[in-house]
Every structure is written in structure tokens, then in C-alpha cells.
Structure 1
């Protein structure tokens, strides 16, 4: 009888021990999750950010990168509080998004800025473009303005205000070649290049899509200001607990491995630091 009772208590003891171990494991996972920094990103920026995340992990900081295929969901998700920050947009885009949605978002820090170009797989110069040539440009107000400024730099169009970075198609005052514009979502300009005569393009998206050599633009923009640097964006009420995001930003901005990844993805001459 005593032996049976002993076995019973042993069994109960084992159950309690297993439960305690399970509770400790669950609590550890919960703590790890709560200390995890979650950043929403565009796939075109994934490689350098993953390099930074790998370095952060070696320093005890867990960073989860969540990829979004469009330019609307990252801000919706951030505003809802499902992620800590996002990294896909520059200041003019953020300003316009806030104006259109009323979201309470702000810039936390700057990342890399890149040049943009005009690309063609059919023609080797602007002079070869035929009358009525088709041109792919972004459909959002900010990046469309950037594309039109570049087309003006190429002397293919003239704009009402030559310095307005928010110019729209309605602001074109001269179009000698009678260019026909195809408006697509910004990330899709890299794909549209196969279907048009000329396309506005981002080197990193072109490298990701593998549709053409990012270095092969007929013209790159001459803009070296940091207006278009990609930003780490957070909610207005974001509290950087334990300086997690600040630590990650410092790794991104200072790591030689991240610089090498940026050189690889953009091209060494096609990006520059937006934080200096």
C-alpha cells in the first residue's frame, strides 16, 4: 500500500515538474516575443535589413522583418499597432500618406537614399524614342512627381513649376514627343519596363525583378539631397523600450556588412547615406 502511494506521489510530482518546465518554456517564449522588434518592409530592402538583423541577433536583439508587397499596407499595419516600425517610404511619401489618412506616424531615423533612372529595353537614347512613345510612371502623387521631374531633366517634357516635386500629369505644359503615360504602382515599374518604350525605375527594384541592368539607365536623377531617403517610421506614441529600434538603426547605419549589402543591391554609385 505504501509503495502504491509512493508511486502515486511520484507520478503527481512528475506531472508538476513537467508543468513547471512547460510554464518556464512558455514564459521564456513570451518574453522573447515581447522583446522582439517587428519591422514592416518592402521586399526590395530585405537583404540589407536582414544583414542588420543578423548582426543585431548576435548582440542579443531579436528583429523580425515582415514583408509587404504594396505601399499602403505597411502604414495601415503600423498605425494599427501590429508592428513596431516600417521601412519602405521617404518623407514626401510619408507626408502625403498622413495627409490622406490622418494616421499618427512620424520619422524615427533615416536609412539609405538612392538615385532613380529612366530605362528602356528598346532604345539607346532619348532621340530614338518615337512620337507617341509609352512611358511607365508611378501612380502615387509623390513618386509620380519624382518621375516627371526626371523626364523634365531629360528634356522630354516641361512642367508648370520646374521645381515642384509634387507635379502631376496635369502640370505638363509641353510634351514634344506626345508621350503616352502608363500609371502603375511604384514597385511594378520594374515589371512594366518590358511593356513600354521608357520606364521610370528604382535600381533596387530592377535588381530584384531582374528585368534589366540597374546601371543601364539612359539618365539618372541629379538629386543628391536627402528628401528621398528611406525612413524608419513609427507611431507618434511609440516608446522605444530598451532602445531596441535605436540600436538596430545604429547597426544599419554603421555596419560594414550592411554597407556591402547596399552596394550589392543598389550599386555602389546609386545610393548614399540619408543620415549624414
Structure 2
């Protein structure tokens, strides 16, 4: 091989490698707290030589589809029970590479100031996916509005309600859209970070909240199995955990109200 040909081969190989290196990581998120905090971590990562592209999704299905297809490297929108259910239902070979923020949920009413005021036959909006619906039902049970079958836990569904003294009627809604229907019902399950982002009502006005006892519902950095030890992914998770700018973004996304969230990796 001549020197000129050898040089051409080396340059061609470098051209193949450079774009991949420049691509860095693509992380899928949903808008609000998760997008804002990951974007803050991405800025820190860039300063440390790691390029991160933040990709927003508006639903809770597409981020896993995109991860499975290889369109993104990581997603950050789901908690462990949601992930377990997705793996069971879709056969995904996913795992987590680190824990993130624990977003509390609440029961909100823009019509009533207490659970006692909710009328017989009142309307309730609740998440339509199996895991988050169960989480909402547990909160309704905690509030004394319903009773569930023994042992159903967070996998409970509307069919598991055994006592409903107020004869409440339920509307099932995609989780991120619950904020839009809250004004139309007597009571709605709510995700404070979506409420903060929507700026429609006070996220601190829930009649009841979940709390740190819901630790399993902390959001996870989810990857395909085999990539949980990827150095770039672990580096990004560490940046997320240690960055003051990330803490600031999380706090802002939750209206700086400690009732609405917890820093799960420290609890």
C-alpha cells in the first residue's frame, strides 16, 4: 500500500468514527420536570465533553418504542412499576441505569375544598394505564373514598373496587392529559409537575398527596439491557445526581414546593 493510499484509508476511517463520537447520547423525556432537569444536566455534560441531545415525547408509550428501536439511548419518564409492566406487556429487554426524582401525585378538586363535599355520584378522573391507575386508586383509598380488594397494591384497577359508598363514576385519561380535565370533574388524580407546566391551577392545592413511602415510583434512567454499565450513561447519571443546576431545575419544575417531590437518590 502506498503512503498516499494509506493516508486516504486512515482519513476515511476517521470520517466514519467522528460522527458517531459527536452524536453522544440521546435521552427521551416528557415535558416539564424531567425534560428541564435532563436539559440542565446536558449542559453540564457538554462542559465535560459529553454531548447529550434531549428528545421530548408527549405520551408514555413512544419513549419506550423509541428506545427499543434504537432511536434514543436512554429514556427518563417512567418509574419501576411502569417499567416492569412495559417489559411484561411488550417483552422489552430494558433495565435501569440509575434513579432520579420521585414525583408525588395528588388528588385535586377545583370544585370542592374537602373530600366530604364531593357529592354522591361525583365524577373522578384517573390515569388509564395499569400502574398509574393503581397508584391513584391507592390514594383514593387512603382518602377514604373507596375500598380495594385486599392485596391488589399498585396493580389495582377499577374492577378491584369493592366499596364505593359515594357511587363515584370514573373517567380514564392518559396521565399527562389529566391536568386538562381537572376542571370538568369533581376530583382528579394529578401530577404536580404537569400542573406546574400547564399553569392552570395551584399544584400545591391537592386535598391529599402521596409521599416518600412511594419510593418505588421514583423516575428511572432506562436503557436496553447491556448498556446499564455504559461509561457515558453512568457519567451522565452521576452529573444529574451531583449538579446544583439540576437541583435548581427540579425545584423550579415543582414550584419549589417540597410537598410535590423528593430527591429519591438521597432518601
* TM-score, normalised by the number of residues in structure 2: 0.89
Q: Is the 8 A contact 1:41 1:87 kept in 2?
A: yes
Output the CA distance in 2 between the equivalents of 1:25 and 1:212. 54
TM-fit CA distance, 1:163: 6.1
Superposition RMSD on alpha carbons, in Å? 2.1
1:40 corresponds in structure 2 to: 28
- 1:165 corresponds, among 154, 163, 184, to 154
Q: Is the 8 A contact 2:26 2:53 kept in 1?
A: yes
Structure 1, residues 175-222: CA drift from partner, whole Å, max 9, x if none? 111111000111111111121111000110111112211111011124
Say if 2:263 is the partner of 1:273. yes
Answer with 1 or 2: which has the greater Rg: 1
- Mapping of residues 122-141 of structure 1, within 5 Å: 122-141=111-130
Q: Is the 8 A contact 1:262 1:268 kept in 2?
A: no
Structure 1, residues 74-108: CA drift from partner, whole Å, max 9, x if none? 11111121211100000000000000000111111
1:94 corresponds in structure 2 to: 83
Output the CA distance in 2 between the equivalents of 1:126 and 1:26. 64
**Length, aligned pairs only:** 254
Say if 2:59 is the partner of 1:70. yes
- 2:197 corresponds, among 208, 213, 226, to 208
* SS at structure 1 position matched to 2:196: helix
Say if 2:40 is the partner of 1:51. yes
Deviates more, 1:137-146 or 1:56-65: 56-65
Listed as ranges, the gaps of 5+ residues in structure 1 are: 1-22
- Mapping of residues 247-266 of structure 1, within 5 Å: 247-266=235-254
TM-fit CA distance, 1:224: 2.6
- Mapping of residues 14-33 of structure 1, within 5 Å: 30-33=19-22
TM-fit CA distance, 1:268: 3.6
TM-fit CA distance, 1:56: 1.0
Taking a change above 3 Å as real, the CA distance of residues 110 and 222 of structure 1, as seen in their structure-2 partners, is closer
2:8 corresponds in structure 1 to: none
* SS at structure 2 position matched to 1:71: coil
Structure 1, residues 127-157: CA drift from partner, whole Å, max 9, x if none? 1111111111000000000000000011000
